[in-house]
Amino acid sequence: MKKGYTSKIIFALIVAAFIGLCLYLSPITSPANSLWSLLPPVVAIGLALITKEVYSSLFLGIVTGGLLCMFSSTPISVGEEETLGHGFSAFFNAVVNEGIIKNLSDSWNVGILVFLVVLGIIVVLMNRAGGSRAYGEWAVRKIKTRRGASLATFGLGTLIFVDDYFNCLTVGSVMRPVTDSHKISRAKLAYLIDATAAPICIIAPISSWAAAVSGTVEGVNGISLFIKTIPYNMYALLTILMVILMSVLNVDYGSMRIHEQNAAKGDLFTTGENTYSASAETPVTSKGKVIDLVLPVIILITLCITGMVYTGGIFSGTSFIDAFADCDAAYGLSLGSIGALIVIVIYYMCRRVLTFNDCMSAVPDGFKQMVPAILILTFAWALKSMTGLLEAGAYVSSLVESATAIQILLPAILFVVAVGLAFATGTSWGTFGILIPIVTGVFEKELAATSVTGIIPPMVVICISACLAGAVCGDHCSPISDTTIMASTGAQCDHVNHVSTQLPYALTVAAISFVCYLIAGFVQNVFVILGTGIVLLTALMVIIHFINKRRSNA
């Protein structure tokens, strides 16, 4: 039997077993706030990994959610006094209205799409002006090894810590010529981008992520608590360490090893084609210099940060930190990128590397480059709406609350639950938004005492860290995660290739993080917990390095 048929049969059996378990626990006529609520992402993610075709897989997941809404005997609520209705009316309302129309009319989502398209236009402009080529040629002279190219990608990712979307797209645009010249696969580039996006943002006190986390905690200083969680955020810290070890030791395993071996032979994509248009990659001038890429990137970073703090009220007397905490990231990034686009067009025209017509023709080409990402994001948002309508978050919350009696194992339990919830829903922000209030509820008495003592108990910090770490891990693994989609877009890598090659690495770090959180339940000492994780991950990577070396010499 062919391998493809075997995997499809296994997937069909898993789905059948899952449906059987759902029927055992709850009738299909009551899908909300039950195991049924997790069926849509199970279908979508499973199909995507097996068929390697993301659009139809996500759409079938959305349809599955719509069917569950249709079968519900109780109308699914979409507001205080509004429901989806019954039968086919509920199906169409869920899929089309709640799933697609409302997500494409949501101001946050539209802001992200505007930023995405504008950044695509800027990338085309940089390519046509010859800036990307000039930078690539300069980087080839300065960065002479694959190790250096990987570490340079990691280094740039750590510098752009204010927002994960911004990180993914900017790092990808700048580093693609460099990694291509050193024959690093697009799948590996996508992993390097993804591993230095959310993991960096979740440990950066000045970032949109810090603002989101601090907003979910009541009764204590949110930013202060966020800073205390950083040393205990095992997944983020160990992922960063893994990128460094992989780059230094030149270690790859799983399907990524195949992609890297093919890249060394000249095939950067393995699947045989680039899903992103290459029509805009040819410079229209030979006058391009390194400054034609570096200066636009600096302009973009500066204006996007300015746009974010502007929406947080910095020009109204608010401090820089508070402005970041209260910013509207989608609006700020849209505002900053549009401003940057105007300045960059004027700069290129003054430099006489591009004419006005050249700049304007880049607009539709930039949009075309982002069409795959826009489609995937739209379907991913719609799938998240299905899990929201079916109250997946409430169902998982009830499971966590039932396990809070075992406080010694609570960090490990919270980590696993956060991974599962973020993987299924594709949102880390939504995941810690659901779980952190549960943690604060469990430790309500301890947190109330902090108003007198000013000291937050270590177990509270560890449990919240476990929620954050698990949320980032699940987000990292999920094909329907915004950040994962942005990483594959920034690297111009096939999305399913990125997910399938990244998964073994993410699960490796997740397993070690789980061990660390098991230890944390007994020993609330950051040096013991983090030290254990560092030793385990380093030992594992060294062992894999020697195994690969032995295979190469055999």
* Co-location of 409 and 469 in the same domain: yes
Question: Which domain does 384 fall in, by range?
Answer: 376-553
Q: What percent of the chain has pLDDT over 90?
A: 17
The tokens for 49 are: 């990994």
Q: Which of 75, 100, 125 is the last residue of a domain?
A: 100
The DSSP secondary structure of 11-59, one letter per residue, reads HHHHHHHHHHHHHHHS-TT--TTSGGGGHHHHHHHHHHHHH--HHHHHH
Confidence of residue 234 (pLDDT cuts 50, 70, 90): very high
Beta strands in 92-174 (DSSP E): none
Kindly state the average pLDDT of the residues 152-180: 80
Confidence of residue 1 (pLDDT cuts 50, 70, 90): very low
> In the prediction, which pLDDT does 532 show?
94
What span, in angstroms and rounded, lies between the C-alpha atoms of 203 and 209? 9
pLDDT at 433 over 80: no
pLDDT at 402 over 60: yes
The tokens for 441 are: 């509820």
Domain presence at residue 251: no
Kindly state the average pLDDT of the residues 482-504: 88
The tokens for 426 are: 């594709």
* Co-location of 314 and 455 in the same domain: no
Domain presence at residue 384: yes
From 1-10, 105-114, 195-204, 336-345, the region with the lowest mean pLDDT? 1-10
Domain presence at residue 216: no
Domain presence at residue 34: yes
Domain presence at residue 299: yes
* Co-location of 130 and 89 in the same domain: no
66-124 tens-digit pLDDT: 898 888 888 888 776 778 778 888 888 888 988 899 888 988 888 888 888 888 888 88
Residue 46's alpha-carbon distances to 254, 431, 480, in angstroms, are 18, 20, 11
Residue 77 φ/ψ, nearest 5 degrees: -80, 140
Kindly state the average pLDDT of the residues 289-297: 85
Confidence of residue 161 (pLDDT cuts 50, 70, 90): confident
From 70-79, 204-213, 318-327, 344-353, the region with the lowest mean pLDDT? 204-213
pLDDT at 279 over 50: no
Q: Which of 341, 373, 405 is the last residue of a domain?
A: 373
Instruction: Enumerate the H helices of 208-271 as residue ranges.
Output: 208-214, 222-229, 234-249, 255-264
Closest to 508 (Cα-Cα) out of 553, 469, 461, 540: 540
pLDDT at 282 over 90: no
* Co-location of 478 and 523 in the same domain: yes
* Co-location of 548 and 493 in the same domain: yes
The answer to whether the CB of 431 falls within 8 A of the CB of 400 is no
* Co-location of 294 and 392 in the same domain: no
Domain presence at residue 120: yes
pLDDT at 327 over 80: no
Domain presence at residue 133: yes
* Co-location of 28 and 159 in the same domain: no
* Co-location of 420 and 510 in the same domain: yes
SS3 77: strand
How many CB atoms are located within 10 Å of the residue 28 CB? 16
Kindly state the average pLDDT of the residues 136-141: 77
Residue 346's alpha-carbon distances to 289, 350, 352, 353, in angstroms, are 16, 6, 10, 11
Kindly state the average pLDDT of the residues 155-174: 78
505-524 tens-digit pLDDT: 999 999 999 999 999 988 88
286: left (phi over 0), alpha (psi -120 to 50) or beta: alpha
* Co-location of 392 and 464 in the same domain: yes
Confidence of residue 325 (pLDDT cuts 50, 70, 90): low
* Co-location of 170 and 314 in the same domain: yes
Residue 284 φ/ψ, nearest 5 degrees: -95, 0
How many CB atoms are located within 10 Å of the residue 471 CB? 34
Closest to 127 (Cα-Cα) out of 3, 245, 280, 240: 280
335-376 tens-digit pLDDT: 988 999 999 999 999 988 888 998 898 899 888 877 887 888
* Co-location of 336 and 395 in the same domain: no
Domain presence at residue 24: yes
Number of structural domains in the chain:
3
The tokens for 394 are: 């409430």
Pick 552 or 240 by higher pLDDT.
240
pLDDT at 545 over 80: yes
Amino acid 152 reads: A
What span, in angstroms and rounded, lies between the C-alpha atoms of 439 and 455? 17
Q: Which of 67, 100, 133 is the last residue of a domain?
A: 100
Confidence of residue 222 (pLDDT cuts 50, 70, 90): low
> In the prediction, which pLDDT does 280 show?
43
Residue 7's alpha-carbon distances to 2, 12, 19, 196, 506, in angstroms, are 9, 9, 18, 32, 21
> In the prediction, which pLDDT does 216 show?
63
The tokens for 439 are: 């943690």
With both helix axes pointing from N to C terminus, report the angle between 356-369 and 107-128 in degrees, rounded to the nearest 10: 130
Amino acid 252 reads: D
* Co-location of 399 and 358 in the same domain: no
Give me the chain's average pLDDT, please: 83
